[in-house]
Each structure stands twice: as C-alpha cells, then as structure tokens.
Amino acid sequence: MITKKKAASPAAPVKVARIYMRVSTDAQDLARQEAIATSARAAGFYVAGIYREKASGARADRPELLRMIDDLQPGEAVVAEKIDRISRLPLEDAEKLVASIRAKGARLAVPGIIDLGELAAGAQGMARIVLESVQDLLLKLALQMAHDDYEDRRERQRQGIELAKAAGRYAGRKTDTAMHQRIAAMRAGGKSIAETARLAGCSQSQVKRVCVLIKAGSGNVYADLGMDDAEEMAAKAALADQIQEGIFAGYTSTEDAAKRLDIPLSKLSDLLRGQFRAISEAEMRDYIDRLYHPPVAPTKGKRRRANGDKVA
C-alpha cells in the first residue's frame, strides 16, 4: 500500500518588532526597560532594532523616535514598556504620531492595550467595523490617560514648589543651557514662540523668558551661556538658519530634505533644533549648497544647438 506524504504546511510568517525605550531625563536609567527585548523574543518576535532615548514624552520631535518610524517596514510591530513611553502628547498630537506609525504599515504592541488587529483582519462587514472602532477607542483612552498623568505630575510639582517657596526652602533649578541653546537657535531661524515651545518641549512662557535674556545679553547667546566655543556655535546657528530657509525655499518637507542631503532624518531634525555641535561648519555649508543648487539630472535624447537643430 502506497501512502501519500502530507504536504508540508507553509511556514509561519516571521514576526518583526522594533523596540522603543524612553526615560525623560539624563539622570534616569533605561535598565528597567531592557527586559522588553527579552520578552519580545520570548513571544516569537525577531527584534530588528532597539531605540533608546532620554527625552520628554511630551515632545514629538524625539530623534530616536523619528529614526525608528523612518526604519519601520510593513507588518512590523512597535514594542514599548507602556503607551506613555511612546507618547505623553495631547490627544490630537498623539493620534498624529500613531498615524505616522500606521502609515508605514506597522502596528503598536504595548502591554495594557488590547490588540484586536488579528480579529479585525479576519472579520468582514459590520463585525470588522465594530472591532476596528473598539480598537481605536481603547487606544484613544490610553493616549489621553498618558497625557493626563503627565499634566497631573506637573501640577503636583507646581504645588510643591509653591509650598517650598512659602517655607523659604526653594532654591530653584539650575539653568538648562541646552534648552536655552535650542530655543535661541529656533528663534534665530524664524520659528514662532508657539512652534519653538512645541519643538523644544517647554512652555511658551519659558521661550519668552529666554528671548528676554537673549535681548539683554551680548548679542551672542552662546557667550552669554558661558560656552567656550561661543563664536563657532553662533556661526553654526547662522548656517542652520540658512538650511531652514533652503528647505522652505524649495517647498519641501524635512523628510524630503533629509533624503536630498543623504543624511538621517534624526540628524537633520537635531540640526534644525540647534543641536549641531558635532556637525562641522564645512558639512553645514555643503548642505546649503545642495539645498540651493540640487544636482541636475541628465536629459535623455539628442542634444540640440541653440538654433534648435539636432546634434548628430
């Protein structure tokens, strides 16, 4: 008796994850979140990349977050410890951030948020619509709760400062020179107070205070902040301004500009926010040249003389 061999079942598709870890300040440690990678691999994911960041979740222009989104491929999952690691932004901005992840064909895989994606994909008609609506509602609730928690923490901090001031025990915080540097560079680049506050991750009132300090200073904010390379930084700030103007003049997005310059989007984002200490002046001048004088693609077909006749 001849037995037929059973056809081999198709291999299960590989699940790919990109892991995002974040803490708010340099003083905090990412060690606790390192276990996420181990858990993801145990759940059957291939980890394509790990992105570690020390920045406020209330900022949308985090370099490592932008780099991760740029690296995402269709079908991949973004894994984080909690949703507040991804965003503490106001709901509208948080939804835009999630939309940029989904636009790459990727999805969120975050503990505490029920993933109905597979159920919705297998459903049809009204059942699919309901499942997708429930998924969006759950995500909105989680994003709003993350932002509310951020605002509650800020309010408790404000109340604690007021009590300490009343008791004569509040000494204030040290000047954040890096923040002042970013604000100075963005204001010099023509950004509005509101846009500067959003990109720098601070309040509009703080932007206004820094602007007052700049006007009352020597004219070189970097010198006023006591930086040894103040002249070089001021020159780079002027070049960054020209790069910003070059992007606007070409009516292009920051993403397209990064591709034209052949640099990572996160690097260009850092430069435009005033974080250009590691970038040389020569490199910045090269960016300006490429923005204002892009290479001309060779034309196809036969060349013509000035009178219109074809050249043999």
Each residue's pLDDT tens digit, 166-223: 777 766 666 677 777 778 777 776 778 888 877 777 777 778 887 777 665 555 666 6
Boundaries of every domain in the chain:
15-142, 177-292
CB 78 within 8 A of CB 139: no
- pLDDT category at 133 given cuts 50, 70, 90 is confident
Tokens of 209: 């205070």
Mean pLDDT of 85-111: 92
What is the Cα–Cα distance from 264 to 262, expressed in whole angstroms? 7
Each residue's pLDDT tens digit, 232-272: 877 887 788 788 777 766 656 778 888 888 888 888 888 87
What is the Cα–Cα distance from 142 to 87, expressed in whole angstroms? 10
Backbone angles phi, psi at 87, to 5 degrees: -155, 140
- pLDDT category at 306 given cuts 50, 70, 90 is very low
Helix ranges restricted to H, 167-253: 177-188, 193-200, 204-216, 221-224, 230-249
The whole-model pTM stands at: 0.54
Percent of the chain with pLDDT over 70: 77
Tokens of 54: 């020390």
Backbone angles phi, psi at 69, to 5 degrees: -60, -40
So which residues are the catalytic ones? 24
| Helix, strand or coil, per DSSP, at residue 51 | strand
Residue 264 CA from chain centroid, whole number: 12
Give domain 15-142's CATH number out of 2.60.40.10, 3.40.50.2000, 3.40.640.10, 3.40.50.1390: 3.40.50.1390
Angle subtended at Cα 59 by Cα 57 and Cα 63, rounded to the nearest 5 degrees: 95
Exposed / middle / buried, residue 241 (Cβ in 10 Å: 0-12, 13-18, 19+): middle
